[in-house]
Amino acid sequence: MNLAFSVTQSELSDVLLNIVPVRPVFIWGAPGIGKSALVEKFAEDVGLPCVSLLGSQLAPEDIIGIPQIKGDTSEFLPPKMIARKEPYVLFLDELNGCSQEVQKAFYSLIHERRVGEYHLPEGSVVIGAGNRAQDGAIVKTMSSALVNRMFHVQLKADPSQWLMWAYENGIHPWITDYISQRPDHLFSEPPKTEEPYSTPRSWHMLSDTLKEYGAGEKEVSEDMLKILAYGCISASHAGMFLAYTKQLGNKNLLNDIIKGEARFPSKPEERDVLYFVAQSFRAKLLHELPKNKQKMNKEAQYLAHRAKALMKDLSLINYEIAQMVVSSDGGEILPDWFMVEIVRDLPRLVQNGDRKTS
């Protein structure tokens, strides 16, 4: 399922707070985007225990229980972890990863909050979650009857909100600093092939591995850093992250370049660092230059003035990387007024870049 709108972490928390007391909510999202963690955080915030069931590993009897003869009749006894006396959050993770038989077992639990003769305690809520079909995860078609019994919401990764969480939860400072410079690298769509890719969860995993090796506190070899980065996140992001670690001795290199206190790296062995700094330069222009030139503040005016001179310097060092900075390839486009000024000062750079990306 692909919904027309997606929500951030804080918006999802608001949805859960207001909707789950009256209707079950199903959260759609890519693997590793933070669905489970947000449900657990919601349960903690409202002061309820969270009971998680993994749909892909359940059989029908894990939901409805087993029959027991009582006199002349029998009744199903639900599992102990479901049959609780106090209210709780019932989290049905990977709900769309379970078989049709298990989905049927969930009908009354989701619709009526009961299993056989057992009813969930007053104040309990039901939340489901699952991956999308395009994610290449364990996904089965959810019956229309089950779909129609829940409110649906799709979660997206929001770098600024993730960074707030990361600072509070002690994520490795290399990770938080890198994502603050390259927020577009927090998440990448799952690849068609079996390989690591970037998600909030995989960056968290990289943070854990860096901490285990003491990165930042003691020397870690370049080869080991490669193993750690390429084992957790997308290959393209891993390469940029490694370039970032190489210039940690001057964490303010880009700012120093903009202020005229440093120059773009120009040695052949510094090409990966140059590429990282140029990518960060492009990201800064996209983030800080307004679409309307009339809305520029003094900081943006200074950045635009320096950027035009720096583009000339960069084109002399590496023409292809300079083209990458102003290219429209990849979706985001620099402001039209800025591109007009670049065309005026460096017409061949932009013309060649347009031909290359068309």
Distance of CA 78 to the CA centre of its chain: 36
User: Position of tokens 């029998």?
Assistant: 74
Model confidence pLDDT, tens digit, residues 105-158:
788 888 888 877 788 999 999 999 988 877 766 677 788 888 888 999 999 999
Model pLDDT for residues 163-215, shown as the tens digit of each residue: 999 999 999 999 999 998 888 899 998 888 889 999 999 999 999 999 999 99
What count of other Cβ atoms lies within 10 Å of the Cβ of residue 89?
A: 21
Instruction: Indicate if the alpha-carbon torsion angle 127, 128, 129, 133 is positive or negative.
Output: negative
Sketch out the chain's domains with CATH numbers.
Answer: 9-156 (3.40.50.300), 160-357 (no CATH)
d(CA 149, CA 134): 23
CA pair distance 158, 161, nearest whole angstrom = 6
Q: What is the maximal distance between C-alpha atoms in the chain?
A: 92
What is the pLDDT at residue 136?
A: 65
pLDDT at 330 over 60: no
Q: Output the pTM of the full model.
A: 0.74
pLDDT tens-digit map of 211-228? 999 998 898 999 999 999
Asked whether residue 351 carries a pLDDT value surpassing 60, the answer given is: no
By the 8 A CB rule, do 36 and 52 touch?
Answer: yes
**Rounded Cα gap, residues 207 and 145, in angstroms:** 42
31 in Cβ contact with 23 (< 8 Å): no
- Of 92, 93, 99, nearest to 141 by C-alpha is 99
φ, ψ of residue 68 to 5 degrees: the values are -135, 130
Q: Grade residue 357 by pLDDT with cuts at 50, 70 and 90.
A: very low
Within 172-331, residue ranges assigned H as helices are 173-181, 200-212, 222-230, 235-246, 253-259, 271-288, 298-317, 319-326
